[in-house]
Structures are given as C-alpha cells and as structure tokens.
Amino acid sequence: MRMLSDCLACLAVVRMKDVHKLFNDEQKRYEVASTVISMIKNLAIDRGISSSPRVATAIFRWLKRVSGVSDPYASEKKLADENALRIYRELRRSVIEASPRERLYKAISLSAAGNALDLGVATYHPPSVEEVATLAKRKPPVGVESCIDALLKARRIAVILDNAGEAVLDRLLGDALLSLNKEVVAIVKSGAFQNDETMNDIRNSMLYESFSEVLPTGTDAASIFLEEISERTLEALRSSDIIVSKGMANYEYISDVEELLGKPVIYVLIAKCRPIALSLGVETMTLVARLSRPTA
C-alpha cells in the first residue's frame, strides 16, 4: 500500500512522541526531532520509499540506537498484556462454549477489536480493554463470514501478531482454532518496534498456551519484511494453508507482497486512519476481516 500525504504527517507526529519519551533535554529533543524530519523527507520523498512501515522501521531503529534504549515501550507493553489478561479468561469461556462457527465469529471479532490497542497512530488514543470487549459486540468485522469459511477449511494457520495487549485477545483466535483441531502458529517480532508484542513479551501474554508454536520473525521491523525474516518463519508462512495478518502496518506491507507468499491472507484490523480506510473501502474506525486470495 502506497503512502498518502496523511502518512507523512502521522510518521512525524508518532516519532515526535518517541523523541519526547526517550530524551529529557530540550536541546537534544530539538536536534533529534530535526533529524527525524530530515529522515522522513530523505526516505519518503528524496529516495521515493512509498511504504510507511519501511520508513517507520528505519526511523525507529535509529531512535533506539541514538537513545541507547532497546525497547522504548517495554513498560507500556507489560501493562497492556496484564490488562488484557484480566478479561481473557471470561472471554475465552464465551468463545469456547459456542458452536464451531460462532466460536470463530466471536474470536475474530475480539481479535479485530483488539487492534484498537495501538500506540502508533497520530491523534489516536487507545480505549481500555473493557471498551475493546464492548466494541467487539457492537458490529461484526466487515467480511468476517468469508474468513470463517476459509478458516474452517484450513488445516494449518499462521497468525502474524501486532500490538501488546491485542496479542492476548489474539489468543482467543488461537484457542478457537486449536479447539477445532487446527495447527496454529503465532509469529511475533524478535526486537522492539513501537508497542508491538515481541518474543521478550510472551512470558507476560502467555501466548504459548494458545498456539501450537510461537515463532520469532528474526527482525525488529514493523512487518515481516521478506528479505529480513528468518528462514524458519518464512517456511512457516509458506507451509500454512492460510495467513492471518493483524494490524495496519502488516496490512500496508503484506498487501504489497501477498503474491510472493502465494497464500490466502486474512487481514484483521481496525481502519484507524484515512489512508487505510480508503484502501479497504470502509469508513474510518471500521472493524475489518478481509480475505484476500492470490490471483495466480
């Protein structure tokens, strides 16, 4: 997905939040912020990189390096996972007690609503986990029925996770699929990017209880950049019957490379900004479960 003008502003605003979080000295903040603005111009305009996840990854990596902080959102992620675990057991009971089709409907709805727990969108503030659970009941994700059909037919599913907190709610999808005798692999970042779940965080979210296997991407990129991810993870994706892609950054990147993966992809997210909503053909803040099949 190509960036729109909104994406440039969003990149700047979100990275400025990082600058204020990582540096206390105002002069240092000014210097780092100036470099961030220059990097956005250099990457997105001068070099013509039209992928927001690639630009965001390059800048976030640089910020980690110059600040010496390897995981800037570690405390926020821990709290998000802990908060989501407060409601997980009750939600799991509701999911597992349902019929197979209703089980997947509830799990996908909660997984989609969980994408609200995102700290990487300008002018957006995540709700509480209780509000997320309520959001899942209000209106079904657009496209959910065709996704249920595809998952019921699949044997092996790979789920690419996104934000902390959200990852706990994604466990419900893993639980539902395991209860239907599916093999379900979760794919999690190896290094820190914003508030995304990493392998260091899974001891908090207890992902391993809800998936057949949890694999690291081998990278700290915003998405599964195919030239960066580990061979083992790439093989897990290519050997799956279907891929579930969580969140906006994964949608932005994977929608451009899904033909290379050669697998059906289910995009599960909330369209929290105008460019994503336009790309998906929905209103902003719509819950989406979009099945995309390779054309070849």
How far apart are alpha carbons 88 and 277 in whole angstroms? 29
Token pair recorded at residue 4: 């729109």
Domain that holds residue 32: 5-67
Taking only the tens place, the pLDDT of each residue in 179-228 is 999 999 999 999 999 999 999 999 999 999 999 999 999 999 999 999 99
CATH number where 254 lies: 3.40.50.10880
Whether residue 5 is predicted with pLDDT greater than 70 in this model: the reply is yes
End-of-domain residue from the set 40, 67, 94: 67
**What pLDDT is stored for residue 296 in this prediction?**
60
Domain count of the fold of the chain: 2
pTM of the model: 0.97
Whether residue 146 is predicted with pLDDT greater than 80 in this model: the reply is yes
Contact between 186 and 170 under an 8 Å Cβ cutoff? The reply is yes
User: Hey, what amino acid is at 231?
Assistant: E
Q: What is the DSSP letter of 141?
A: P
Q: Are residues 195 and 90 both part of a single domain? A: yes
Q: Are residues 136 and 18 both part of a single domain? A: no
Q: Are residues 83 and 144 both part of a single domain? A: yes
Contact between 111 and 268 under an 8 Å Cβ cutoff? The reply is yes
Alpha helices (runs of H) in the chain, residue ranges in sequence order:
5-22, 26-40, 52-67, 74-96, 100-114, 129-138, 144-153, 166-179, 202-205, 231-238, 248-261, 274-280
* Mean pLDDT, residues 238-260: 97
